[in-house]
A and B are shown apart, each in its own frame.
Chain A
Amino acid sequence: MISAIDRERAADLLRQFTDAGAQPVETEILQPAGTLLDLYGEDIRGRAFTTTDPLTGETMLRPDFTVPVVQAHMANGADPARYAYAGEVFRRQEIDEGRPREYLQVGYEVFDGSDPAAADAEVFDLIARAMAPWGALPATGDLGILIAAIEALTTSARRRAALRRHLWRPIRFRRLMERYTGAIPPTTTRSVMLAQLQTTAPETLIDAAGTPVGLRGTAEIAARALSLVEDAATPPINRTEAEVIAMILNMDGPMAAALSPLRDMAVDLPGLDGAVDRLEARADALSRRGHDPAQLSFAPARGRSAMEYYDGFTFTFAAPTRPDLPPLATGGRYDALTAVLGAGRSIPAVGGVIRPGLLGDIA
């Protein structure tokens, strides 16, 4: 249950954010399920409570503020804009009965594309100051590094797009890398089909395979069959480039110490430099606000499976004495998500949330 003390803490944090210049924003607790499902896929059903509205159909109890705040900004926001909010979010707990189903989040979101490094540092700094009384331990990441590395791979555009699509699903990402580096050979069924396609048109094979049923038509099946032939003829991703990806996924150390090895990797994978420049600019911006990059923990892939679709800077603040608790605060940059919600219109966005309920647990 949300206690009165939690609510007081939330109000206090919200005041800190509005004092910093954010405009307070309210969103509905009942959210249309369609947008959330389109964005997060069926996986969201395992995390959100779904209910039915007799008039508007399937509805979810707000699992987080990101989507409604972005939508509110797009509907009537000024540019640039800064928002703050506090309110309940609702999460299904299918694994751990001890975790709360409803709790408060207090957040701060910046929609300002003029200086991304400065905006990243602004959000981090504001949350860091709010967390200071609790001695929370910061850790950072940057998924932009991984994205830049994928874009720089010497391979087909189709393979790069597939890796990019599964950036946030580590299991499938790894499987794709294994396939594209030739570590796992094609199945027998696939080899037979590829051999048949050398001499036979896909439409003929589709005809022979059975009665056509379903919405996915012959043209679609044939197009993907031909793309498989093309992919089979694509040389494997070379070992040096694959190792760069692996190194980025495993890298973990101080932010300042990451720059030099990443520059070295950019020799093997030109195209990485732009992302390393952005990391360096962010490190400088954080330094100007008094956060020493030599002391800040940094792992590029941090925040990758958070299901928030971060695609740049990420950060967490952990409880110093309670490693069993979820992070007290999390945040990051989510330009890709706003691009999807904005139907093509991209809005640079970075933000963070604090969970006041957890602060009570460590007080």
Chain B
Amino acid sequence: MIRLGVPSKGRLMEKTFQWFGDRGLILSRTGSDREYAGKVEGADIALVLLSAGEVPRELAAGRIHLGVTGSDLVREKLTRWADRVEVVAKMGFGHADLILAVPKIWIDVDTLDDLDAAAAQFRATHGHRLRIATKYHRLVREFLQANGVADYQLVDSQGATEGTVLNHTAEVIADITSTGETLRANHLKVLSDGMIHDSQATLFRSRVAPLDDAQQATLDDLRGRLADVDRG
């Protein structure tokens, strides 16, 4: 039996169940609405219901063989993610872009070049580095480092990140957006070259979870089913 970790609630869970259903695997929760237990019909697979944020860690530890989560979470939480998990399938839902956004009134800032220059000016004016609110510390830092942006600091924001600018706890935000409505409502705009990562729900396989022959057969069978459907 192989272990499959999927998000335990919300739209991500429903879409995941539907995606597997379209491929002949019936996933369902069992017991009461509040009990995090589930089952899979059609294959020798155990369903493990988890928060999407915990799936990367469980994959990296080899406690689950397969897991569904956002590609943004895997990149943020796992160093050298590609050595530790394999992308089995991009699932085509849960699309969200990790972007950099600045106040709309910053008419002088449209690109990363501008952000860097504004950061230098801001630091000279205010005596501290330009603050960027985010929960994606690694992804944002690596992106800005790769683009040679300096004189900023990351401040942690685990929720309502768009509001940090209004509340003067940050000047810039780096966050997930799917439609951009919340950004607009908070008087922010996206930098034209500020796309850090375009995320979607993805089925990952752990490269460290050991597989015996029976488990390998289950996995091969699953891969076959996925390929059949995706060939149409």
Contact = CB atoms under 8 A, between A and B. Distances in A.
A171 B147 CA distance: 7
12 contacts: A46-B142, A94-B80, A172-B116, A173-B148, A190-B110, A190-B111, A210-B104, A211-B187, A212-B103, A213-B186, A214-B168, A216-B122
Contacts of A216: 103, 106, 118, 122, 171
Nearest to B170: A214
A213 B187 contact: yes
A173 B79 CA distance: 28
A221 interface: yes
Interface stretch (B14-22, B61-69, B150-158, B220-228): B150-158
B148 A187 contact: no
Interface string A210-243: 1111111010110111001000000000000000
Contacts of A288: none
Contacts of B144: 42
Contact of B110 (A165, A187, A211): A187
A95 interface: yes
Contacts of A211: 104-105, 187
B51 interface: no
A210 B105 contact: yes
Contacts of A173: 148
B229 interface: no
B141 A215 contact: no
A214 B141 contact: no
Contacts of A38: 129
A220 B121 contact: yes
B195 to A, nearest CB: 15
B6 to A, nearest CB: 28
Contacts of A37: 129, 153
B178 interface: no
Shortest Cβ-Cβ A-B pairs, 5 listed: A172-B148, A210-B104, A169-B148, A171-B148, A224-B108
A175 B111 CA distance: 12
Nearest to B110: A189
A94 B125 CA distance: 34
Contact of A206 (B107, B126, B149): B107
Nearest to A94: B79
B118 A45 contact: no
B145 interface: yes
A224 B117 contact: yes
Contact of A221 (B105, B137, B149): B105
A193 interface: yes
Given A215-B126, A220-B121, A220-B122, A43 B106 contact: no
Contact of B150 (A45, A169, A190, A224): A169
Contacts of B110: 187, 189-190, 193
Given A189-B192, A210-B104, 10 more contacts: A162-B120, A166-B150, A175-B148, A179-B113, A202-B107, A213-B165, A213-B166, A218-B105, A220-B122, A224-B117
A224 B126 contact: no
B160 interface: no
B212 to A, nearest CB: 27
A162 B116 CA distance: 10
Nearest to A174: B148
A209 interface: yes
A41 interface: yes
A325 interface: no
B81 to A, nearest CB: 11
Nearest to A171: B148
Nearest to B124: A220
A255 B232 CA distance: 65
